[in-house]
């Protein structure tokens, strides 16, 4: 077989794999591999292996009958979801809620981390940090129950204060227009502290000499943040942003479902609640899987898109 110039060039440029060296290297790093092994096993068991069962989406799957006993229905469940009269509304509700979250909830931990970073290390800083983490550990049922009680027009403290100030009471959970703000604000309260950890760790990696040099050059606190701190954590922010974009079609099911009521259904029906009602309550796993698969494919496209845009304009990317 004739070898072209280009192929020859490729062969020359490719380093020869020395298997002995590789084996030696692996053996030398065996503890590192051992450390990563549980995570690998976890991902294989709980993320990759279950993918084999994604074909449930193409069957009218019955647990006891298995794949061979269940009827193959092709794209029936995908069609059923897409042709549903609520499809566009559900997609819009999910997307809109996530875009709002991206606009307000995503920057909140960054701002919080920057503010914390400006505080001198001490008891106050640690106390603020600890308190800010606490809501993350509350059960969603407890959080929603608190929201309902706080905002109730009859027994809630917010309306009580409003009434004492001469304002008219508002049934916040009874008006669809308040649903999204409540979701976003409570989401920020719950996750801002926890979400700031990753940025705080990125901030700790910035070389203190840069700040010293900036002070020498006459930069104030604000300029230090703009020209040193933010660029220092830019990579982390972008990576987090790309990952966040990948979840634009996912909304935490529990909170939306618990907050959903007859008044706000038009804006609170999102993909996950729809799947729960049509798929899980009735044990229609095929439909639930089909919607999940649809969701996954769209999310993969979004992540890939965000990743390539980021690589093009900022040279930072996930892969």
Could you list the residues that contact another protein (CB under 8 A)? 15, 21-22, 25-26, 29, 33, 36, 40-41, 44-45, 48-49, 52, 62-69, 84-86, 148-149, 152-155, 163, 171, 173-174, 261-263, 265-266, 269, 274, 277-278, 281-284
Output 7 or 29, the one with its CB closest to another protein: 29
Distance from C-alpha of 98 to C-alpha of 86, rounded to nearest angstrom = 18
71: left (phi over 0), alpha (psi -120 to 50) or beta: beta
Distance from C-alpha of 231 to C-alpha of 71, rounded to nearest angstrom = 56
Output 4 or 154, the one with its CB closest to another protein: 154
Instruction: Write down the least CB distance from residue 195 to another protein, Å.
Output: 28
Instruction: Write down the least CB distance from residue 31 to another protein, Å.
Output: 14
Residues 267, 210: contact at Cβ < 8 Å?
no
Instruction: Write down the least CB distance from residue 263 to another protein, Å.
Output: 5
Q: Report the SS3 class of residue 59.
A: strand
Instruction: Write down the least CB distance from residue 103 to another protein, Å.
Output: 27
Output 40 or 234, the one with its CB closest to another protein: 40
**3-state secondary structure labels for all residues of 60-120:** ECCCCCHHHHCEECCCHHHHHHHCCCCHHHHHHHHHHHHHHHHHHHCHHHHHHHHHHHHCC
Place of tokens 């910035």: 206
Output 10 or 65, the one with its CB closest to another protein: 65
Instruction: Write down the least CB distance from residue 201 to another protein, Å.
Output: 22
Output 69 or 231, the one with its CB closest to another protein: 69
Instruction: Write down the least CB distance from residue 274 to another protein, Å.
Output: 8
Q: How far is CA 183 from the centre of its chain?
A: 15
Q: Residue 135: count other Cβ atoms within 10 Å of its Cβ.
A: 19
Q: How far is CA 217 from the centre of its chain?
A: 39
């Amino acid at each position: 077989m004739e070898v072209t110039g280009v192929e020859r060039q490729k062969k020359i440029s490719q380093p020869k794999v020395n298997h002995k060296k590789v084996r030696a290297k692996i053996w030398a790093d065996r503890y590192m591999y051992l450390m990563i092994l549980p995570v690998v096993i976890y991902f294989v068991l709980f993320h990759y292996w279950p993918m084999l069962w994604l074909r449930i989406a193409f069957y009218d799957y019955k647990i006891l009958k298995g794949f061979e006993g269940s009827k193959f229905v092709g794209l029936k469940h995908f069609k059923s979801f897409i042709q549903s009269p609520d499809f566009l509304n559900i997609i819009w509700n999910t997307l809109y809620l996530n875009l709002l979250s991206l606009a307000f909830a995503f920057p909140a931990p960054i701002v919080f981390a920057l503010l914390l970073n400006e505080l001198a290390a001490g008891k106050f800083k640690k106390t603020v940090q600890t308190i800010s983490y606490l809501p993350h550990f509350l059960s969603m049922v407890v959080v929603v129950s608190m929201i309902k009680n706080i905002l109730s027009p009859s027994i809630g403290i917010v309306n009580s204060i409003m009434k004492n100030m001469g304002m008219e009471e508002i049934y916040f959970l009874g008006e669809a227009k308040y649903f999204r703000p409540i979701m976003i604000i409570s989401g920020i309260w719950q996750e801002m502290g926890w979400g700031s950890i990753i940025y705080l760790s990125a901030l700790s990696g910035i070389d203190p000499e840069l700040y010293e040099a900036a002070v020498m050059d006459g930069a104030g606190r604000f300029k230090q943040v703009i020209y040193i701190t933010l660029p220092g954590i830019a990579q982390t922010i972008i990576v987090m942003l790309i990952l966040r974009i990948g979840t634009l079609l996912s909304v935490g099911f529990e909170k939306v479902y618990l907050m959903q009521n007859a008044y706000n259904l038009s804006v609170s029906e999102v993909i996950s609640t729809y799947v729960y009602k049509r798929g899980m309550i009735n044990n229609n796993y095929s439909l639930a899987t089909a919607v999940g698969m649809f969701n996954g494919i769209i999310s993969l496209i979004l992540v890939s898109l965000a990743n390539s845009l980021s690589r093009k304009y900022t040279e930072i990317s996930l892969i």
